[in-house]
Amino acid sequence: MNRRRLLQSFALAPLAWSTRALASTGELFSAFGPGPGREPTQRVYAAGPPASILVYCLAPEKMLGWPYQLSPAALAMLPAAQRNLPMVGRLSGRGSTMGRERLIAMRPDLILDVGTVNDNYLGAAEQVAAQTGIRYILMAGDLKDSPEQLRAAGEMLGVQARAELLAIRAQSILDKAAQARGRSGRGTPPSVYLARSADGLETGLAGSIHDQAFTMAGARNVAYTPASTGVGRVSMEQLLAWDPDYIFTQTPAFVQHARRSPLWRQLRAVKEQRLVLTPMLPFGWVDVPPGINRLLGLNWLIDIFDTGRPSAQTDDFIVDFFRVFYRIDAPADLLASARNAQHGP
């Protein structure tokens, strides 16, 4: 049977469909395609960046590759087995580069996608499962549900003990964030803006998956638009009107641009040295991707909003997070950059 006929035969096969619900937030994941086999899942294709980090933290030996291009600095931190995995391309969201025939040729036991769940993503998952005959799990990616994401994925991957360890750590970070938000001495929540692009005018909008680390740490995202969420563009005039307390960026070149620009220097965050360069290694601490890696950034942000800069205890937390979640050592220069993030490069 050639590949075309194989695809056609899978498209006609009946689908098994199921959901698993969280009592507080609705569906945690939806499953399409064949039910789980008797043998443990060994080959996992992560359909997008958040899923790849979830699998990396739980069962890195089961990854078939990275769905996005990691930086050389990020790869250099990872264990050799994961450093040398191929960049296989992504299946979910915009810019998909994974074709159906290539996906079948990779022979995954499971396709795992983590992030936004809506009718478009559900429909795409169902279609891929129908066309390939491969079990497809679409899991909600809200930061607040990280412990349940870890437990559910750990069950799918047959690493329940590892998942429970990470879930307990994740819950402790979420509990710390809840306590920080509830402290009466904090006063008015600080206002923040996330500058995602080289010119600083692309941002994660309020209510989107991209601003969850900030809001859970007790801040208010100024980039609110009632008509849309996700990533959007704003004008400099609008940003000047918002005049946030903090500006966070993931782009080192933007820090230099903002400090030289007469327009950006009008903003209080730039004038008062609250322009913060967020660490990005080995994965983004507050976004890019919006996965469980944001747990690290959440703890870091709590200290910034409480005292104006990370504390000495933050170093210990970072070292522990790297060892427990990533199973690598945190480099000394990364610890230093996390402490001095407001000074930039």
Distance CA 272, CA 256 (A): 15
Distance of CA 341 to the CA centre of its chain: 20
CATH number of the CATH domain containing 39: 3.40.50.1980
So what's the pLDDT on residue 301?
96
Identify whether residues 133 and 20 lie together within a single domain: yes
Residues 152 and 193 in one domain: no
Q: What is the pLDDT of residue 220?
A: 95
Please check whether residues 103 and 147 belong to one and the same domain: yes
Residues 128 and 209 in one domain: no
pLDDT value of position 225: 78
Size (the chain), residues? 345
Q: How far apart are CA 259 and CA 265, in angstroms?
A: 6
My answer on whether 95 and 155 are in the same domain is: yes
177-189, pLDDT tens digit by residue? 999 998 756 678 9
In a domain, 175, yes or no: no
Report how far residue 228's alpha carbon sits from residue 226's, in angstroms, rounded to the nearest whole number: 6
> Domain span at residue 329?
183-343
Q: Which of 137, 170, 203 is the last residue of a domain?
A: 170
CA dihedral 215, 252, 284, 67 (to 10 degrees): 130
The answer to whether residues 205 and 291 belong to one domain is: yes
Per-residue pLDDT, 22: 43
Q: Indicate whether 102 belongs to any domain.
A: yes
**Token representation of residue 341:** 């993030």
Flag residues of the chain having pLDDT under 50.
Answer: 1-17, 21-25
Residues 214 and 79 in one domain: no
For residue 304, give the nearest of 328, 278, 326, 325 by alpha carbon.
Answer: 278
Task: Note the pLDDT of residue 183.
Answer: 76
* Number of alpha carbons in the 13 Å side-chain half-sphere of residue 8: 5
pTM comes to 0.90
- Judge whether 332 lies within some domain: yes
User: Are residues 204 and 166 both part of a single domain?
Assistant: no
pLDDT number for residue 69: 96
Q: Quote the pLDDT of residue 129.
A: 96
